[in-house]
Amino acid sequence: MPVTAYPVLIGGEEIHGLATFADLDPSTGRELAEVARGGAAEIDAAVAAARDAFERTWRRAKPSDRARILRHMAELIRRDREQLAELESQDTGKPLKQARSDADVAARYFDFYASAIETLYGDTIPIASDLFVYTLREPYGVTAHIIPWNYPMQIGARTVAPALAAGNCCVLKPAEEAPLTAIQLGRIGLEAGLPPGALNVVPGFGEEAGAALAAHPGIDHLSFTGSVEVGKLVSKAAAEHVLPVTLELGGKSPNVIFADADLDTAMPVVVNSIIQNAGQTCSAGSRLLVEMRAHDRVVSDLVERFQKISLGPGPADPDMGPLISAAQLERVSRYVEVGKTEARALTGGSRPDGDGLKDGYFFAPTVFDDVPRTAVIAHEEIFGPVVAVSSFADLDEATQLANSTDYGLVAAVWTRDVSTAHFMARELRAGQVFVNTYGASGGPEMPFGGVKRSGHGREKGLEGLLEFTQIKTVALKLDVDAS
Ligand code: NAI
Ligand code: MG
């Protein structure tokens, strides 16, 4: 079967005929699509097209008109749900049901920010009776969005929907490992009526298209989701032009289970928090901290559940698909070998040898127990289906352990004790804390982002919209005698 060619989208045009790169299907290692390899020239053109669309139309478009187009994008995503989900599942290897949920959440972002922009007002500030002071929330202009391969459709929507709603025009650079649904999102935007150039999509390599975008003097704001290393690089590039940067850099998020927790509710959620997308989720529950008294019960239940997880190609809709690439498989394998010298592997720990799994980048769900606080696998992000279990004696130790990494994206507390829950919620250093649940299925309404090395700035929720606006304060002296 011939592979489909995917273009660069600039100024409303599909640009074919550039050099291409092979986008692989991680379930089989075979070529899935040929994708245009955008570079510095395409980034230049995309930034110029975005600037043009911004100045000509989009920054002056009525919020209700922007909202109408964004809602139309949501409808088209829902119309194409099955096709988008299949594409996402093939491109990333994630199970089809997760890809369907990603499409639903992507649509929700456009609906949510359509509503939010229609109700976003400024303030009036009472200073003096002869001074009328008010604030305007203005778009930045051209916003750059560099996204990773783990949730291209969801993260693509999460970052461009609020930017567009606020009146910015976007250049979106998807990851080379999984660029297809981001390109589809650009096509959907045009069909929904976005002005040409409002949403440009330039697939390409990080070191080429990504680096050119982050360093471009024509952008006004940069959002990045990905690794800490590249987050630092793009921040430095943006600092050269004094740009605001939003960084979402992953984590080492803990599920903290107290002995009084309802384990029947907790365990499936805890398992899903690390198995979803084969552990390649920024907010994955990659650490499990258990009160000593409950340790044996929790760990035996965990191992039993891990051993039942079915593996297979994403489109066959197993419990868990492959990792994204040979490089990610190598990274996860390396961490697991280090883990074996630091802790006890109770299950998994290697590539699976099942039928049909040989060519894909599969790794068996892995549980490490009795992981010391100082272990590499206790504090570095592995980004695979690997959970590190440690135990604690009391509330103090639970807090210390939970906060003992350089990351702080998400944390969850499992307890029936309301005081423990609120105490932990306050003490945990994380951008989101869940009590007796985890993740809440992507909720576009809930502000999300990190502390410490997990990054800064907030996405999702109203905060995510405010990130793409700048305040202007207007003060008007009234020509009246106020005395
Ligand atoms: P990465 O940070 O290299 O890739 C993320 C995005 O940055 C991609 O679009 C990539 O093309 C782009 N990029 C790469 N180099 C760039 C550069 N020099 N300038 C501008 N853009 C650049 O992440 P990678 O290497 O794919 O994954 C490595 C690790 O990073 C993972 O194992 C995981 O720990 C972490 N990661 C975290 C993510 C999150 O959701 N927070 C997502 C992806 C990776
Ligand atoms: Mg990379």
Given a contact cutoff of 8 angstroms between Cβ atoms, the answer to whether 449 and 427 are in contact is no
The pLDDT tens digits for 286-323 are 999 999 999 999 999 999 999 999 999 999 999 999 99
Of the candidates 224, 207, 160, which has an alpha carbon nearest to the alpha carbon of residue 37? 207
Residue written as tokens 């929907």? 161
Q: Is 34 a catalytic residue?
A: no
H-helix segments, 122-171: 152-165
Q: What count of other Cβ atoms lies within 10 Å of the Cβ of residue 123?
A: 11
197-217 per-position pLDDT tens digit: 999 999 999 999 999 999 999
Q: What pLDDT sits at residue 1? A: 58
Q: How far is the CA of 206 from the centre of ligand 2 (A)?
A: 7
- Of ligand 1's atoms, which has the minimum distance to the CA of residue 281? 40
Q: Do residues 433 and 447 touch, judged by C-beta distance below 8 A?
A: no
pLDDT over 80 at 2, yes or no: no
Question: Torsion angle, CA of 22/25/28/32, rounded to 10 degrees?
Answer: -60
Note the pLDDT tens digit of each residue in 79-96. Answer: 999 999 999 999 999 999
Q: CA separation (Å) from 144 to 110, 112, 161, 220, 363?
A: 18, 21, 13, 8, 34
442 band by pLDDT with thresholds 50, 70 and 90: low
Q: Give the model's pLDDT for residue 263.
A: 98
Name which residue sits closest to atom 11 of ligand 1, judged by CA: 206
110-169, pLDDT tens digit by residue? 999 999 999 999 999 999 999 999 999 999 999 999 999 999 999 999 999 999 999 999
pLDDT class of 355 with cuts at 50, 70, 90: confident
Look at residue 8 and give its three-state secondary structure: strand
Instruction: Give residues with Cβ within 8 angstroms of 340, minimum separation 6.
Output: 349
- As a 3-state breakdown, the chain gives helix, strand, coil percent values, each rounded to 5, of 45, 20, 35
pLDDT at 398 over 90: yes
Local confidence band at 480 (pLDDT 50, 70, 90 cut-offs): confident
pLDDT-derived band at 3, boundaries 50, 70, 90 = confident
Instruction: Say what the pLDDT of residue 354 is.
Output: 85
- Cα distance between residue 434 and residue 413, in whole Å: 6
- The question of whether 248 is a catalytic residue gets the answer yes
- Dump the DSSP string for 368-391: EES--TTSHHHHS---SSEEEEEE
Pocket of ligand 1, candidates 42, 229, 230: which has the most ligand atoms within 8 Å of its Cβ, to mutate?
A: 230
pLDDT tens digit sequence for 32-49: 999 999 999 999 999 999
User: CA distances (Å), 136 to each of 115, 121, 129, 289, in order?
Assistant: 18, 8, 20, 46
* Ligand 1 and 211: CB distance under 6 A: yes
